[in-house]
Chain A
């Protein structure tokens, strides 16, 4: 195992971490504000991917095949999917079950996930989709005498970071963002002061959904779309969210990097456990800090 392979592992890790972060960000945001652990997030990821693939295939066929168009179609696909599905799920389902036990809410999102697994198969079939066109278009870059694709090492992490910064700005500087924070940490006070719970809830859910779908759309050029992709991504995202601490945004960034790197490095160093790395890390962390790495103290109840 030489230095070059190590660097490749790191590059893979950063790219994977970027996708992981986008999905985990949506997940942790939704949990932090709405208290729901949304398993259907995996479906949003997959849907974002499939729609993006279809849209870019459509664009290519109709001579919109300049790189910016392709890229645009990816992102637009994600936004649309996230917006529509997010609104749909929030209005039709979450509102209806919002007073129930969190475990019940989790099962509701699990049911939705399971339904979408078949919806995907019905619409797009079960054979893998590939749409790597944009990766080759953007070319490669050389660092430390090893070649990486620009897409992997700059585009994905770049968008992930931009989302992080954007979200932080939104939460700290905009009115709606501040209301969201208020609702998360001091729900009753916020409601008493007139924060519109339904509106903010819908906003957050849609935002989270869009991030998840964006992750899926961006994943299209670097992985093939198969029916199980949503399932795999959602479970690993959980480990990120649980390890970082539910609702911790910066924590999710750091943890995504940690787990993404560990997973990718393991492929080269410890292939027997590469798939299990995220879970092993989560187990170790939770053993030492039962509420996640970055969780703050809880307030007194009695």
Chain B
């Protein structure tokens, strides 16, 4: 049994009266593709925010890649190998697609240049490869802020990928994308992740996507993990069916 890539122990967080994270114990192993499902407000994004350092838990510990990251800032956690994309894509809206990737690549290098131009300070081959990988080769010079939603999501993921993370967390990667494009987008992303051997953890509402791409599913209800395991068993779990999938109990 391999050492867990990420382990959260007894993580708690409450906002006033609302318990967003209720004694959560959670483990993620290398190579897994974890889908997280749950109603809005169940605490899925809050837990991601805690693990990535955006929020501080009131109790509990989080260990990533052997290091205790509880209480660390997103910046230091990212440098340890965790990448993230967001529910609302967080891009540099005034920069071009290419520049967004270049900034990410430069960030990976550690020291940002003062005099060498951005494009000269990064490996252009890799930029081009990444653009190809996510199918945005032709859109390199478009402004990130003006992209269609699906492309924005792809760019968001690609920027995280440029950091060569061990783990990538994607918060609703296909939301806001039309149903016909969802599968195409997911296929592209998963292919890119597989090629680079990146463990993935994604929040998803679409059951089809979940069953097709996840190796494991965790269901969040009211700040707790209600079910956790292989997709088939979790998706047919009675509580999951009732509270999350909205299937009436028979």
Contacts and interface: CB of A to CB of B under 8 A. Distances in A.
A301 B54 CA distance: 11
Majority secondary structure, B binding face: loop
B88 interface: yes
B86 interface: yes
Contacts of A302: 45, 49, 54, 86-88, 90
Contacts of B90: 302
Nearest to B86: A302
Contacts of B87: 302
Contacts of B54: 302
Interface residues of B, number: 7
Contacts of A300: 49
Contacts of B86: 302
Contacts of B49: 300, 302
A302 B45 CA distance: 9
Contacts of B45: 302
Contacts, number: 8
Interface string A280-302: 00000000000000000000101
Interface in B51-100: 54, 86-88, 90
Nearest to B171: A302
A283 B116 CA distance: 37
Nearest to A297: B15
A302 B48 CA distance: 10
A177 B215 CA distance: 55
A275 B45 CA distance: 49
Nearest to B84: A302
A97 B230 CA distance: 55
A302 B171 CA distance: 10
B130 to A, nearest CB: 23
A222 to B, nearest CB: 47
A199 to B, nearest CB: 31
B201 to A, nearest CB: 16
Nearest to B87: A302
A30 to B, nearest CB: 28
Interface in A162-212: none
A302 B90 CA distance: 9
Nearest to A301: B88
A302 B86 CA distance: 7
Interface in B26-56: 45, 49, 54
A265 to B, nearest CB: 40
B170 to A, nearest CB: 13
A300 B46 CA distance: 10
A302 B46 CA distance: 9
Nearest to B55: A300
Interface in A93-119: none
B82 to A, nearest CB: 15
Contacts of B88: 302
A302 B87 CA distance: 7
A302 B91 CA distance: 12
B77 to A, nearest CB: 14
A298 to B, nearest CB: 13
Interface string B86-130: 111010000000000000000000000000000000000000000
Nearest to B52: A302
A300 B45 CA distance: 11
A300 B171 CA distance: 15
Interface string A16-46: 0000000000000000000000000000000
B42 to A, nearest CB: 15
A300 B50 CA distance: 13
8 contacts: A300-B49, A302-B45, A302-B49, A302-B54, A302-B86, A302-B87, A302-B88, A302-B90
Given A302-B45, A302-B88, 6 more contacts: A300-B49, A302-B49, A302-B54, A302-B86, A302-B87, A302-B90
Q: Which A-B residue pairs are the 5 nearest by beta carbons?
A: A302-B86, A302-B90, A302-B54, A302-B88, A302-B49
